[in-house]
Homo-oligomer: A and B are copies of this chain.
Amino acid sequence: MPIQKLRRIAEIIKQQKKITIVSHIIPDGDAIGSSLALGMALGKLGIRVQILNQDEVPKIYTFLPESSKIKTEFDFAPETIILLDCSDLGRIGSLRDLLPKQGLIINIDHHISNTNFGDFNYVDTGASATGEIIFELVELLNGSVDKDMATCLYTSILTDTGSFQYENTTAKTHLVASSLLSAGADLGLIRSSLWENVPLTSVRLLAKTLKTLAVDPRGEIAWVSIPFETYSKHVFDLEHIESIVNYPKSIEGVEIGICFREFAPGKVKVSLRSKTKVDVSLLAESFGGGGHKRAAGFVSEATLASVMDTVIKKAQSYFN
């Protein structure tokens, strides 16, 4: 992406007196980390900032500096709005109804599916996380990131790359991560909060779920399932449960890993992952869902047993 385009956005931002930052529903580490870091940078420029999200900050990210500044309701009427990590306007959920008819929309994202819905758009699909872009933007705005911004942006990148394991990890990702540690990103705090603060019941849920592990006769598909009875008995952060699908996927020879979880009676969330060959977004689309080639999903209202049966048969058809 041409840096000039980001420089132009930085210039426009500097001309504003009030800015509203919004990110997507069910916010993840990148949505929250990049919102907070940008909010801090704008605040330092004397801009009045409100950071909004339809949903509360998940408990696992409340360790981030200034996380309590993310609100679900407006302090002031939004005019200039920066949307972060949203591929389209629908991603901000119910907040969309509150957007003004007039006003400036700046769209900063790294998703390939971004619809360029803003008045100004900066979509760098080569960036591992929106936080990787915000690092550059903050340098253009403030000269450099401070310790708190660095902790937020390091968390953005860390969570969106699965701790530098996903294929979006590039040489530039590590270069930015290096700058963030140099700027004082608190890896000790991040470590103790993300990886050493898991509820006991979350580990118990993992143990129960791994017991359900099954592999199809040809070894190409593996899955785990969580019936509502198990699901409702445990306390966990969504981050913990969403990573369970990596266990079936991790098995040698397996191409598709699946997690079926009945999150409400008769409502099943199906998470699909693939290694190198199968485009699971097509599989998800055939059930009304969507996603990426290697990670997709959908929600079904059939019974757990029937969803499992249907999805596994459909997945098997990809190997015939």
Contact = CB atoms under 8 A, between A and B. Distances in A.
A181 B213 CA distance: 35
B181 A178 contact: no
Quick one: copies of this chain in the complex? 2
A316 to B, nearest CB: 18
Given A163-B164, A206-B247, 5 more contacts: A169-B187, A192-B275, A196-B249, A203-B210, A203-B247
A182 B191 contact: no
The 3 closest A-B pairs by CB, nearest first: A207-B210, A174-B178, A171-B181
Contact of A182 (B158, B171, B247, B250): B171
Interface of A: 158, 163-165, 167, 169-175, 177-179, 181-182, 187-188, 191-192, 195-200, 203-204, 206-207, 210-211, 213, 215, 222, 247-252, 275-276
A165 to B, nearest CB: 6
A204 B197 contact: no
A198 B200 CA distance: 25
A174 to B, nearest CB: 4
A174 B181 CA distance: 9
Contacts of A200: 215, 222, 251-252
Nearest to A198: B250
A178 B167 contact: no
A178 B250 CA distance: 25
B171 A178 contact: yes
A34 B163 CA distance: 22
Contacts of A204: 213
A170 B182 CA distance: 8
A250 B203 contact: yes
15 contacts: A165-B191, A165-B195, A171-B178, A171-B179, A171-B181, A171-B182, A178-B178, A196-B249, A196-B250, A196-B275, A197-B250, A198-B250, A199-B252, A203-B250, A203-B251
Contacts of A191: 165, 167
Given A178-B172, A178-B174, A250-B195, A207 B211 contact: yes
